[in-house]
Structure 1
Amino acid sequence: MGVKGFWQLIDSTKVSVPLLELAVKQGFNENSDNKHAYRLGIDASILVHAAHGIKNSSHENAGLLSLLRTCGCLFTMPIIPVFVFDGDQRPKGKRGQNVRKNTTTWEIELQQLLDVFAFEWRQAPAEAEAELASMSKAGVIDAVLSEDSDALIFGAKCVLRIEHKDKSAFDVNVYDSQSCGLTSDDMVFIALLAKGDCGPGLPGCSAKTTLELSRAGVTPPACLSV
C-alpha cells in the first residue's frame, strides 16, 4: 500500500528487531520522558486485512482468533498501543477501486476486542496513516506500525512493518525518517510522480526513476512548472 516501489527504495536502511526488544530499549533503557512504555500507533487496517485474508482454515473464527492473538501479544509487552481506523473523509477510491466508507464487520469486531483489552482506539478524520503521521510529528507516539508507505511520506518519524518470515515471533522492520536516505522533498516528489493509492502518477515514472530525477536536481516546483 502507498506508493508502488517505495519500500524497495529504502529497504537497505531498515533494521530488523523483535518488537519486544525495541519496546524495552526505547521505552525503558533510552526513555527520555519517563513514560516507561513504548507508545505505538497502529494502523488498524493491517490487522483487519490480515484477519479477513485468512482462508482455508478448519476454524470458522480463524480471523477473529488472529485478532485475539495479536492483541494478546501486545498486551504482554511494555507498549501503550493506540489503534487508528480510517475515517469517513478518506478518498473514495484507491488504485482505481471504490473504497467502502461504512465501518465493516471486521472493524467492529476489532473495536470490541480492543475495548476488552482496554486498548485506546480512535477514528481518523480521513486516512489512518495521515492521522498516525500527525501523531508522530506531535510526539504523541514513538512509532507507527503500518504497511502503508504514506505514513512515512506524510511525516512519521519512525515506521515499523511486521516481519512475516517467522509467524511465531513478533519481529518488525524499522524505518527511520532521519536515516532512510530520503529527504522530505524526495518523498513528496516520489508521491507526486510515482503510482500510488490515489493516483496513477506520471506514466512510465517509477519511484526509482523519480528519485533519480530528484538526485539530478529536478525538484517538485521545477517539474510542476513544465
Structure 2
Amino acid sequence: MGIPELWQLFDKAEIGENISTAPFAAQHFVRERRPLRIAVDVSIWKFKCYLDKKEVEAIRKKVPPANPNEKNIFYKILKLLKLNIQLIFVADGSNRPKEKYGGQSPWYKYLSQDDKLLKKTVTSLGVTWHEAPGEAEAECAALQSRGVVDAVWTEDSDAFMFGCTSLIRFCHVKKPKVKRPGNNQDWVNESDETRREVDLDNIIIYRADKLQKQFPGLT
C-alpha cells in the first residue's frame, strides 16, 4: 500500500524501468561476481499470486488435495532460481500495524492465513524464510541497507521511506479473451482484475538515484 498516490506520481514521471529479468540478473552477476539477491515481501506475493477463496474451493472440488496457491508460488520461485537469483522471503511480524494512513492495506487479510505450507514450500527449495519484527517492507529495506540483499520486491512504497534504494514491482500482462462453450457470446471479456496476471519474464524497477533527481529528499 504505502502512500496511495506515490505510484501514480512515479508512473507519470516515468521513474520505473520495465526490464527483462534474465538479462538484469546476468548483468548483475557479471558486474558484482555474485548472484543477484532479492528480499521478497511475502504478503505482496500472496496478494498478487494467490487465487481467491472461491477459485481454490472450485479446484479442490475436482482435486481435494490440491494446494494451488503454494503451487503457484513454487513455480515462480523455481523460475527465478533458474536465473541464478537468490531470494529471502520476509513475512510480516506480529507487531505490524493493522491500519496505516487511516485505512487498512488491501493485502492485510493475507496476514491471518496459515503460512505453514507456504513456508515449507519455500524452504524446501533452499530459500530463506525470515519473519520481520513488524512490517515486512521495513525489514526488507533494512536487509538492503545492511548489504544482505541488492533489491526489495514489494508493492509497498513505504519501503522507500525505510531506506530502500532499489525496488522491484511485478509487471502485469493481460490475458487474452476467453471463449466459453455454450455461451451466446463467442468471446467474453473478463474483468481487468481476472485478466491480469503477474509476469516474471519482466519486472519494473525503481532506483533511488533516479528518484532523487526527480523528487529530492524522498529517499
Which TM-score band applies after superposition, normalised by the shorter structure? 0.7 to 0.9
CA distance in 2, matches of 1:173, 1:51: 17
2:74 pairs with 65, 68, 71, which one? 68
- Label 1:130 to 1:117 Cα distance change in 2 as closer, same or farther (>3 A): same
2:152 pairs with 144, 148, 170, which one? 144
Aligned residues of 1:15 and 1:175 also touching (Cα < 8 A): yes
Higher strand share: 2
- Label 1:102 to 1:143 Cα distance change in 2 as closer, same or farther (>3 A): closer
- Alpha-carbon displacement from aligned partner over 1:62-81 (angstroms, at most 9, x marks no partner): 32221122122122121111
* 3-state SS of 2:129 partner: strand
- Label 1:93 to 1:101 Cα distance change in 2 as closer, same or farther (>3 A): farther
**Which amino acid in the other structure matches residue 165 of structure 2?**
K
Could you tell me which residue of structure 1 aligns to residue 26 of structure 2? 24
Shift in Å, 1:9: 1.4
1:117 pairs with 102, 111, 125, which one? 125
Aligned residues of 1:142 and 1:158 also touching (Cα < 8 A): yes
* 3-state SS of 2:69 partner: helix
**Which amino acid in the other structure matches residue 40 of structure 2?**
I
Aligned residues of 1:42 and 1:82 also touching (Cα < 8 A): yes
Shift in Å, 1:13: 1.6
Aligned residues of 2:39 and 2:88 also touching (Cα < 8 A): yes
Residue 178 (structure 2) pairs with residue 171 (structure 1): no
2:103 pairs with 69, 93, 96, which one? 96
- Label 1:159 to 1:97 Cα distance change in 2 as closer, same or farther (>3 A): closer
User: How large is the Cα RMSD of the aligned pairs?
Assistant: 2.4
CA distance in 1, matches of 2:51, 2:27: 33
| Structure 2 unmatched ranges of 5 or more | 61-66, 175-197
* TM-score of the aligned structures, taking structure 1 as reference length: 0.72
How many residues of Structure 1 are paired with residues of Structure 2 in the alignment? 181
* 3-state SS of 1:122 partner: strand
- Label 1:100 to 1:172 Cα distance change in 2 as closer, same or farther (>3 A): closer
Aligned residues of 1:162 and 1:170 also touching (Cα < 8 A): no
* TM-score of the aligned structures, taking structure 2 as reference length: 0.74
Aligned residues of 1:2 and 1:149 also touching (Cα < 8 A): yes
Could you tell me which residue of structure 2 aligns to residue 5 of structure 1? 5
